[in-house]
Amino acid sequence: MDKQYTDDGKNTLKRILDLSWRISVYAPPMKPFLRFSKHADTLYKGKTNSDKHFFWDFDDALQKVLLGIACTIATPAEIAEACIERWKINLEKFYQRSKRQLEESRKNGEVPQFRYTPRDEFIFSRVEPGSRLLYVGCGAGTECLGWAQRGYEVIGIDTDEQLVGIANEWAEYLKLPFQAVCMDVDNIGFSPGYFDGFLLEFYGFQPSLVQALALQRGLANTLNNNGKGFIAATRKKYASFWYRMSNLGYPESMVHWLINQCRLDHYFSPMDACEEKLSFGLYIRSHTVDSLSRELGGVFDVQECMYEEFDSRYLISVVKRKGRFPDSPPNAENDDSVGWTKQEYLQREGVSTKDVLYEIHAICDLLEIHKERVQRFFLNGEVSGGKSPLSMVDTDVPRFIELIEHTYGMRPFLS
């Protein structure tokens, strides 16, 4: 299918990514109501597991519909570019928070105490102190600064100029061996063999095989003969893993309730698979151990690949470059012809893309209102009195069910 990527197409793609972000942020408080409230008693009767999945994990289903629409109006390269801009929007609050923390530290003469995650310790056990490490997607540099304090020489790269700037200000203030560089991971500009190791925490955010292979080859080229790469990818296990990805300001009791609900995700579908969708306005390809090992094995010598015990959202692979530096990455002009899947978004007769997006927009509006009501329930302490959130009477669940059923009827076919 030929894609006409006009200004109108760009605006539509931005709208799609914004709807994806809204679904990720506002859907979790609605999911228990759609699953267990009295209004949903008949919702799953007489349907196949595939159909049940649409309602049980409606956020997951809607994210895949949005990706399908995006793929009809833009190439993988255009989707990747739009996701980079969306990533900057997502991290704006993170930048502001890091900036305030730096100002307060300077004012009070404080030095932050860095906390090391199990993933950090996993890497430290495999790379000697004093090594030169590349951190891909360094953000404001918090993790990199912790590594530098631990005795590593660290260079971080990110596409967000604001975050790179604040990361370097932190490094200057703390006098640690860390430097942040504004650089796209698709065009890494370091000399071959420059690093003893790297960490890539966002593998699977590349919307085509060509882009993924170019990324692998670029990173492999940075490693010396004994260097090790650490590549983290998302797994499918949870349709909603927002609760460990972003602080949304929910009351602690509400977060605890929703975390327990997330364990029920994918009740009507496999909990692990290699598949594509949008999430938080970003393209994401989830992986299994087998799919990640296969995908990396053409460029890297895969040493280890496992699901992370300490963070069940992810799996991690330890790699080394093969005996010679990789060949040049494939020409990006072929990007549009080499997608991950051969699925094609096929519109239902009489249903336009505009109709589907309008319906999803209405769903997002209702999700946001519902989230605020559930949040007030927990802020008012009603749960401490033994009341269940599902007992709330001022909900829009019947209207939401009406909307989601209508969208279900409008959903596109995938060839």
pLDDT reported for residue 346: 67
Q: What is the DSSP letter of 237?
A: S
Q: What is the pTM of this model?
A: 0.89
pLDDT digits (tens, 9 = 90+) for 61-72: 999 999 999 998
Q: What residues are paired with 178 via a beta bridge?
A: 154
Structure tokens at 270: 């496999």
- Report residue 263's pLDDT band, with 50, 70 and 90 as the boundaries: confident
Q: What is the pLDDT of residues 267-323, one digit of tens each?
A: 999 999 999 999 999 999 999 999 999 999 999 999 999 999 988 889 999 999 987
Spell out the CATH class of 92-237+272-330.
alpha beta
User: Over the chain, what is the mean pLDDT?
Assistant: 88
Whether 343 has a pLDDT exceeding 60, the answer reads no
Q: CA neighbours within 13 Å on the CB side: how many for 366? A: 20
| For range 68-84, the mean pLDDT | 92
List the domain boundaries for the chain.
22-58+66-71+256-266+353-415, 92-237+272-330
The answer to whether residues 253 and 374 touch, using CB atoms and an 8 Å cutoff, is no
Residues present in the chain in total: 415
Q: Which residue has the tokens 């496992």?
A: 306
**Whole-number Å distance between alpha carbons of 105 and 170:** 10
